[in-house]
A and B are shown apart, each in its own frame.
Chain A
Amino acid sequence: MDRKRRTMDGSGIRQALSMMNERGSGEGAGYVAYGIYPDYRDCYALHVFFDNIRENKKVVDATLEQWGTIEHDEAIPTYDQPNLRAVHTPWRYFFKPDPSLALPGSATPEDEIVSALVMRVNAARCGALIVSSGKNLGVFKAGGWPEDVADFYRIEDYEGYTWLAHNRYPTNTPGWWGGAHPFNLLGWSVVHNGEITSYGTNRRYIESFGYTCTMFTDTEVVAYLIDLLMRRHGLDVDLAVRALAPPFWEEIDRMPEAEQEWNRALRLTYASAMMNGPFAIVAADADTMVGFTDRSKLRPMVVGECADRLYISSEEAAIRAMEPRVESITMPAAGEPVIGRVAP
């Protein structure tokens, strides 16, 4: 992330990610970039994977027109790679929802519509999968090695001020493009190293709020949890992270009374949102980037800083590949979030 919103093209993060190819298997990688669609900054940029463009696109077009206006749509430019088999056609829509269609009283009517739309299209399994749905951002992912995926989308052609990237070693759904990270809903995108042992609890919890899990993998639930906690329940990022990876009771018991009270309340209220198992997660929206690990830090997380740039990675090597003159490298304690904010 660049805290002054100065943009970087995708070549740096491509290079960084390739340092960690031991952590992948060549069956899934992806990128998300913020600030890449300044011309359509007020539109929701919907990135869609079509199985069969002739059949499936009509359905999505019709749904979108029903819910709002398509300002512009086009194929996402791709470039054949010898080691990457293109099984979907990536497409992008710049979409403006009709706020009058939202339920009355909604604080974020446009977000409500787009979120409902994403859930509906993805759950319908109509040969179209919406993989990102925020404004001025886009997810680029596929089944393949990070370099091949980057070259397939030619991500060096995009200029973003925050980038997340992920290299996958799939065990559950190898090769499935929908299973590659980042996962996105509206403004928030998530990359995740680990396995969520509480997934069943989290999924049942989030589905009771109207989300539908459709990606066959645990990480998508994190994107929805962040959306619920922050957008719908109004928690700030520190509190949302604390709800997802709360302190142990032992620590809470030792806190001063007032602090103990709200920490207790947070754990009780969001018991089913709490994530268990080993994980390191980096999430971002237009203004924020946050990295946090499980409460025992069973996955690595390294933080680097250099002037206005903040880097969070599984490995220091990746940070150094992107920023050889990095000024500080730190390893946050278990459960301790690292939050970067862009200047207003």
Chain B
Amino acid sequence: MTIGSLPPRYRISIDPVRCMECERCIENCSYGVFRRDGDRILVNSRNCTACHRCIACCPRDAISLEEHPCDYRSHPLWTREAREAIYNQARTGKIILAGMGNALDYPVIFDRLVLDACQVTNPSLDPLREPIELRTHIGKKPTRLDLRRREGGDVELQTPLTPNLQVETPIMVGHMSYGAISLNAQVAMARAVTKAGTFMGTGEGGLHSALYPYQDHMIVQVASGRFGVNIDYLERGAAIEIKVGQGAKPGIGGHLPGEKVCADISRTRMIPPGSDAISPAPHHDIYSIEDLAQLVRALKEATEWKKPVFVKIAAVHNAAAIAAGIARSPADAVVIDGFRGGTGAAPRVFRDHVGIPIEAAVASVDKKLREQGIRNEISVIASGGIRGSADVAKAIALGADAVYIGTAALVAMGCRVCGNCYRGLCPWGIATQRPDLVQRLNPDAASEQVANLIHAWTLELAELLGAAGINSIESLRGNRDRLRGYMLDESLMQVLDVRQVGA
């Protein structure tokens, strides 16, 4: 024996007094933790992912879960994760895969920014009595207008306007493809965004016909694999997004394993059943900024310049300059995906170590665009680690027009952030294609929950705006005076262009 078995990550225990042997845990656990042995239910904790499915369905609260039941000798540098990664790689010689977002213990900048409210010198507004406008327009806006007066004084607009997406709340759902997540999950979110007057992304998985009724609220994605892309697909979407990169794995492509490519997915992605769907790292027709501008133009041309085109990039060191380049193309919005952005599967080394936080990326993008006088040329959508309405408000105050949520929408449907999405066994019916698991997710109930979440955040945003004496979201956008940094270092505050608390 060289390495031997590692301490189990979780320990599941069943209280025999409480357990009534209903076997719901056995039925529900897709990872095979539970099995029946005579009149007992046995547990294999090593299979556990802490997805909580068993706990959620146990009628007697008989199951408990403990993380890291067995300690290593503690060491500040040689953490459990560092050691276990080495054991793993020593055994396999492979790249370690991981799901969900960045799992390293970086400080969360959002949690070190505080919002402002009015006292005395100006009144706070009560959203129940006063209108608070959250409507947002995503797309290019003119820098100035040519408005002429006809005889008689009527105003005539001479400046042509580029089509914008009108979003009733600055919260959109980001791109999670059919394949990465189940059709039921997509349908649930599509219904929710339609109800909330906002939009969601298809991801690079094509547009399943079950989503056609919601297509006016769908943003169709064109990524490096070009899966599911044809003119019908482009024309169905309310907008088109070119995905260049993703916050969870900047600089690399994607891979949907062949075993997930069932008949339905093969049809929507337009690839043979059972074949691996590999999205290359770069778009092989985009090797420079002018190539990107060409693709934007081609997509616009194909859809008769009626659809806004977004470009999504991972938040990397040079995000601001890249965004400025994108703003000079006919693109309408740039999506900046921060290093906490989630994913179905990413190499752990990328997920945890590549890219920068969304807060700093948005601040520097907004600053660069303003310096160059091209802020109106493009909308900025922030994504990657938006956990609540406060994060939305802070992202907007730092300069974003709107946000994409991803993980939060999945959590609203039951996801416990266990991070095993890449295994395709999601017991919540979200990140899986196994029919028995997918049918666990009821699209009616799930869509209600996602809609509730967006609605609740929208209400909270209105309250936050009202308290800040602001009755329209555009007056929060880039309004860094209404933020203060708490325990942030000076150089980071300079990047964010916020002052410290008390100043």
A binding-site residues for B, Cβ under 8 Å: 171, 194-195, 197-201, 203-205, 207-209, 233-236, 239, 248-250, 258-259, 261-262, 264-269, 271-272, 274-278, 295-296, 298
Contact = CB atoms under 8 A, between A and B. Distances in A.
Nearest to B135: A249
B143 interface: yes
B81 interface: no
B130 interface: yes
B480 interface: yes
B386 to A, nearest CB: 21
B478 A194 contact: no
A249 B122 CA distance: 23
Given A197-B469, A239-B155, A276-B472, A262 B373 contact: no
Given A249-B135, A266-B145, A198 B375 contact: no
Interface in B365-404: 370-371, 373, 375-376, 397
Nearest to A195: B122
Interface string B40-58: 0000000000000000000
Nearest to B168: A249
Given A195-B122, A276-B469, A295-B471, A201 B370 contact: no
A276 B155 CA distance: 25
Given A208-B370, A265-B142, A272 B375 contact: yes
17 contacts: A195-B121, A195-B469, A197-B118, A200-B397, A201-B475, A201-B478, A204-B370, A208-B371, A209-B373, A248-B131, A259-B155, A262-B156, A267-B474, A275-B475, A277-B475, A295-B471, A298-B123
A261 B397 CA distance: 28
B122 A197 contact: yes
B497 to A, nearest CB: 8
B376 A201 contact: no
Nearest to A271: B474
A268 B480 CA distance: 20
Contact of B122 (A194, A248, A274): A194
A201 B479 contact: yes
B477 A265 contact: no
Q: Which of A171, A201, A250, A261 has the most CB of B within 10 A?
A: A201
A296 B142 CA distance: 27
Contacts of A271: 141, 474, 477
B198 to A, nearest CB: 15
A319 B15 CA distance: 82
B137 interface: yes
A274 B145 contact: no
A56 to B, nearest CB: 29
B61 interface: no
A198 B474 CA distance: 9
Nearest to B468: A197
A249 B141 contact: no
Given A197-B122, A208-B373, A239 B147 contact: yes
Contact of A201 (B133, B149, B474): B474
Contact of B157 (A194, A209, A265): A265
A274 B474 contact: yes
B141 A269 contact: yes
A278 B123 contact: yes
A24 to B, nearest CB: 14
A98 B141 CA distance: 36
Interface residues of B, number: 45
B284 interface: no
Contact of A269 (B135, B142, B470, B478): B142
**Interface of B, helix, strand, loop or mixed by DSSP:** loop
Given A171-B121, A195-B121, A272-B375, A277 B469 contact: yes
A261 B471 CA distance: 22
Contact of B144 (A171, A195, A233, A272): A233
A272 B474 contact: yes
B164 interface: yes
A71 B17 CA distance: 100
A237 to B, nearest CB: 12
A143 B484 CA distance: 30
Nearest to B479: A200
Closest 6 CB pairs of A and B: A200-B481, A198-B475, A276-B475, A200-B479, A271-B474, A197-B469
Interface string B460-496: 0000000011111011111111100000000000000
B88 to A, nearest CB: 48
Interface in B148-168: 149, 154-157, 159, 161, 164
A156 B133 CA distance: 47
Contacts of A201: 474-479
A272 B375 CA distance: 10
B29 to A, nearest CB: 49
A230 B61 CA distance: 69
Given A197-B475, A203-B481, A277-B470, 11 more contacts: A200-B397, A200-B479, A201-B479, A208-B375, A233-B144, A264-B161, A271-B141, A271-B477, A272-B375, A276-B469, A277-B122
Given A197-B469, A200-B478, A201-B478, A278 B122 contact: yes
Given A265-B142, A269-B144, A204 B371 contact: no
Given A266-B145, A269-B141, A249 B133 contact: yes
A295 B468 CA distance: 16
A186 B397 CA distance: 32
A204 to B, nearest CB: 5
Nearest to A253: B135
Given A171-B121, A278-B123, A298-B123, A204 B478 contact: yes
A208 B118 CA distance: 27
Interface in B110-134: 118, 121-123, 125, 130-131, 133
Interface string B286-318: 000000000000000000000000000000000
A265 B145 contact: yes
